[in-house]
A and B are shown apart, each in its own frame.
Chain A
Amino acid sequence: QQQVKQSPQSLIVQKGGISIINCAYENTAFDYFPWYQQFPGKGPALLIAIRPDVSEKKEGRFTISFNKSAKQFSLHIMDSQPGDSATYFCAATYQGGSEKLVFGKGTKLTVNP
């Protein structure tokens, strides 16, 4: 049973555009939602994370929007750059979940110059 569903699988945007990746979760006990960024040939690295007590968190051009009632969260990349081209994973975990992260299947983002 996949607990975190991520869409789209792939995304192509033009430089300067907005990239939007969506995730939905099932387990209402989840209380921490990170996004990881992975460049080809590298391991994933934490990009930004949010807890459900806030509806939005922004770090530079990256913003997480969180909708607790809909059990959905999304990553917005403003002014997308070719250097943002990577695979993005959403994830979720919860206190008492023993530090385990449940990952979405990933979105391959390509930003064309």
Chain B
Amino acid sequence: DAEITQSPRHKITETGRQVTLACHQTWNHNNMFWYRQDLGHGLRLIHYSYGVQDTNKGEVSDGYSVSRSNTEDLPLTLESAASSQTSVYFCASSEVPREGNTQYFGPGTRLTVL
């Protein structure tokens, strides 16, 4: 079955380190998204991509970057981790909708920055 996976599921790092979170989907979807989820803020969009070599900034993109070298993967990099980036990160994918805009979410990565 098609799916979307994230790794690692849990990560503890130190302030200032570079961290990369992986996202892999097997639906062959063109659209991929990264969100962070924090209590009281819901889901906030970090970056998104509509296809290979395409990346766009979301509402909370500062301190994060993404690259899209193939259809299946959209890794999220924290250039220099900060304590404010402690959060749960979700990756999602979707296809150009025939009916609605269903985004399929991964299981999440819980990141702690000490």
Interface residues of A (CB under 8 A from B): 6, 9, 32, 34, 36, 41-46, 49, 51, 89, 93, 98-101, 103-106
Contact = CB atoms under 8 A, between A and B. Distances in A.
Contact of B41 (A43, A99, A100, A105): A105
Interface residues of B, number: 26
Nearest to B45: A100
Interface stretch (B67-75, B78-86, B92-100): B92-100
A2 B31 CA distance: 23
B103 A46 contact: yes
Chain A CB count within 10 A is highest, among B45, B102, B103, B104, for: B103
Interface string B44-63: 11001010000010100000
Given A41-B108, A106-B42, 16 more contacts: A32-B101, A34-B100, A36-B105, A42-B108, A43-B107, A49-B102, A98-B56, A99-B48, A99-B50, A99-B94, A100-B48, A101-B101, A101-B103, A103-B42, A105-B41, A106-B43
A1 to B, nearest CB: 10
A36 B104 CA distance: 10
Contact of A105 (B42, B90, B104): B42
A44 B101 contact: no
Nearest to A4: B42
